[in-house]
Amino acid sequence: MLKKSEYINTGGKLIDLKIPRIMGIINVTPDSFYTGSRYFDDKSILEAASRMLDEGADFIDVGGYSSRPGAEDITPEEEKSRVLRAIKLITREIPEAIVSVDTFRAEIAYEAVMECGAKIINDISGGEADKEMFNVVAELNVPYILMHMQGTPRTMQINPAYNDVVADILMWFGERIFKLRTMGVKDIILDPGFGFGKTVEHNYELLRRLGEFKIAGLPIMAGLSRKSMIWKTLDVKPEDALNGTTALNMAALMNGADILRVHDVKEAVQVRTLYLKLRLINKEG
């Protein structure tokens, strides 16, 4: 097992990942699966970002393309008009915010960093959707969230299949980590992609065995918030899945997650506080 990276460099600011970090979600889309994460006008975007930071978010992740199962495709121009405006607004009005751009399009990632002040690129396709993405990440030298997705948002939930979901994703990660490293990319964060081309059973297997991804020696992000693996299992709606999210976020931390990507920052910060207390007691014992 490789020695784990304990810091990421976000525009010259080192973030210590020995303490788990919280990433708040802002979707500037009309069709995200959870209505509570949708923000459109400048006022609501700024209010959401300010609230999340006040509640303890370490990062703000801004996306303009809905990646829910079966989501309709939108043009790069439409995505750009949504996401770049929001990122520029946040970084201008809240300069201390560390903003991540959630996009699989290299051109948008480039502009978000170079022109709008984003410090992290979060790519749900792991470089598969746009072959220029790795070149852009290498040129910009920013942290890159490498997420696994089987298929595309429109097709990913049509009979996803694996020989061994963890082993298959680890192999997929390994090929891309090697390529990124040879290109000089320093800060890589792994996201196994809960809900992206996985059945409910695949998702729980991933969560149960999340610690196996530590073999790569890289930080791990878990995006479980209000996803169907929770609300389908509990037979509720996404709006009623906060309690289940909290339970699985604790499981993710206990199994090795370094970053939680969430809709509900305050509750995730509380989970982290309790986890750190438990970890401290275990060490003292």
Domain 19-284: CATH superfamily, name plus number: Dihydropteroate synthase-like (3.20.20.20)
Listed by start position, the domains of the chain span 19-284
Question: Which residue among the candidates 82, 226, 227, 272 is catalytic per the annotation?
Answer: 227
Asked if pLDDT for residue 154 goes beyond 70, the answer is no
What is the 3-class SS of the chain, one letter each residue?
CCCCCCEEEECCEEEECCCCEEEEEEECCCCCCCHHHECCCHHHHHHHHHHHHHHCCCEEEEECCCCCCCCCCCCHHHHHHHHHHHHHHHHHHCCCCCEEEECCCHHHHHHHHHCCCCCEEEECCCCCCCCCHHHHHHHHCCCEEEECCCCCCCCCCCCCCCCCHHHHHHHHHHHHHHHHHHCCCCCEEEECCCCCCCCHHHHHHHHHCHHHHHHHCCCEEECCCCCHHHHHHHCCCHHHCHHHHHHHHHHHHHCCCCEEEECCHHHHHHHHHHHHHHHHHHHHC
First to last CA, the chain: 26
Contact 207, 213 (CB under 8 A): no
Asked if pLDDT for residue 226 goes beyond 90, the answer is yes
Average pLDDT over residues 144-167: 81
- For the entire predicted model, the pTM comes to 0.93
Residue-level pLDDT at 5: 73
Residue-level pLDDT at 69: 63
What is the share, in percent, of the chain residues with pLDDT greater than 70? 91
pLDDT category at 153 given cuts 50, 70, 90 is low
* Catalytic residue check, 226: no
* Catalytic residue check, 283: no
Question: Which residue among the candidates 261, 266, 272, 279 is catalytic per the annotation?
Answer: 261
